Homo-oligomer: A and B are copies of this chain.
Amino acid sequence: MKVSVSGCSVEEAMRLLGGRWRLLIVSYLVDGPKRFNALRRDMPGISQRSLTLDLRALEESGLVQRTVWPTAPVRVDYALTQDGERLKPVVAVMKEFGLWLKERG
């Protein structure tokens, strides 16, 4: 893939969040940490693989923190980092637009 030339900030943001699921995942983390399978239940359409990959990408970007609890069986949860909290306005505004879209039909 070609690297961004313009370096436009919207372009940068969309390259990180532009996927089908990432912002949706974030939207399910705004109210607090969630476990892997809880996220799966929130998003019936996502495959396990995509959820894993997107969570890894968000983790890599420092927006999501993955925590493994040393229980048996293992328990993992995902939470927004302080950086990730910066996505809250993005989620809010996107949700509002999405709602309007659905009402408009």
Contacts and interface: CB of A to CB of B under 8 A. Distances in A.
Number of copies: 2
A13 interface: yes
B93 A9 contact: no
Contacts of A43: 6
Given A18-B18, A89-B93, A93-B89, A98 B9 contact: yes
Interface residues of A, number: 43
A45 B2 contact: yes
Closest 5 CB pairs of A and B: A9-B98, A13-B98, A9-B99, A12-B98, A93-B93
Interface of A: 2, 4-21, 23-24, 27, 42-45, 83, 86-87, 89-91, 93-102, 104
